Amino acid sequence: MIIELPSTKATLHLGEQLGKLLPVRTVLLLKGNLGAGKTTLVQGIGKGLSITEPIVSPTFTLVNEYTQGRLRLYHLDLYRLKPQEVEKLYPELYWEYQEVAPGITAIEWAQRLPYQPSDYLEIQLVNLPKLGRQAILKEVGSLSLKASFWESLR
Ligand SMILES: Nc1ncnc2c1ncn2[C@@H]1O[C@H](COP(=O)(O)OP(=O)(O)O)[C@@H](O)[C@H]1O
Ligand SMILES: [Mg+2]
């Protein structure tokens, strides 16, 4: 599905819808260049989950965990990390939910993952010369979101 994002507000709104609708254990891989709107989207997700704490990019802490909302939110940003460093972070802990409590995991710069979860929602944020900014959402693996989820995003 392609969603047009003409403004920051539109990106926040999409995130908010995701925060309200996504089921527990969903992993979101966020792809897109610097400034594409990945963190903005996660801020919207936080709002949709009813997290009132400000969501800031986990640039130095690597993983931010928010426990306050409808579901837990784990926010990872791999921007500054080398593949070896990403491995040391054990990112799979945040999608297998064995050692961490179940929630929703959102990973910025997911293209830097040395290995990927088997099932996830990919959200690519692009800025095309004539079409402008868009989010491209794709289910990967056996992730299968309800038809009502997709309808709510329209
Ligand atoms: N759809 C949009 N249209 C215009 N500006 C946007 C949009 N989405 C986000 N922005 C702006 O782009 C800037 C960078 O966004 P950010 O979410 O930090 O990007 P990233 O995390 O991908 O580097 C912010 O100032 C944000 O307000
Ligand atoms: Mg960011």
Looking at residue 127, which CATH number applies to its domain?
Answer: 3.40.50.300
What pLDDT does 114 receive?
86
Tell me, yes or no, whether 133 lies in a domain.
yes
Nearest alpha carbon, ligand 1 atom 13: 35
What pLDDT does 119 receive?
96
Q: Is the CB of 38 under 6 A from ligand 1?
A: yes
Give the residue carrying structure tokens 């709510």. Answer: 152
CB atoms within 10 A of CB 112: 18
**Per-residue pLDDT for 97 more than 90?**
no
Output the CA 133–ligand 1 centroid distance in Å.
10
Q: Tell me how many domains the chain contains.
A: 1
Q: Is the CB of 59 under 6 A from ligand 1?
A: no
Q: Which one of 5, 8, 31, 42 would you pick to mutate in the ligand 1 pocket, going by the greatest count of ligand atoms within 8 A of its CB?
A: 8
Tell me, yes or no, whether 150 lies in a domain.
no
Q: Is the CB of 5 under 6 A from ligand 1?
A: yes
How many Å apart are CA 47 and CA 77, to the nearest integer?
19
Output the CA 99–ligand 1 centroid distance in Å.
32
Q: What is the mean pLDDT of residues 42-52?
A: 98
Tell me, yes or no, whether 104 lies in a domain.
yes
Over its C-alpha atoms, the chain yields an Rg (Å, rounded) of 14
What pLDDT does 37 receive?
97
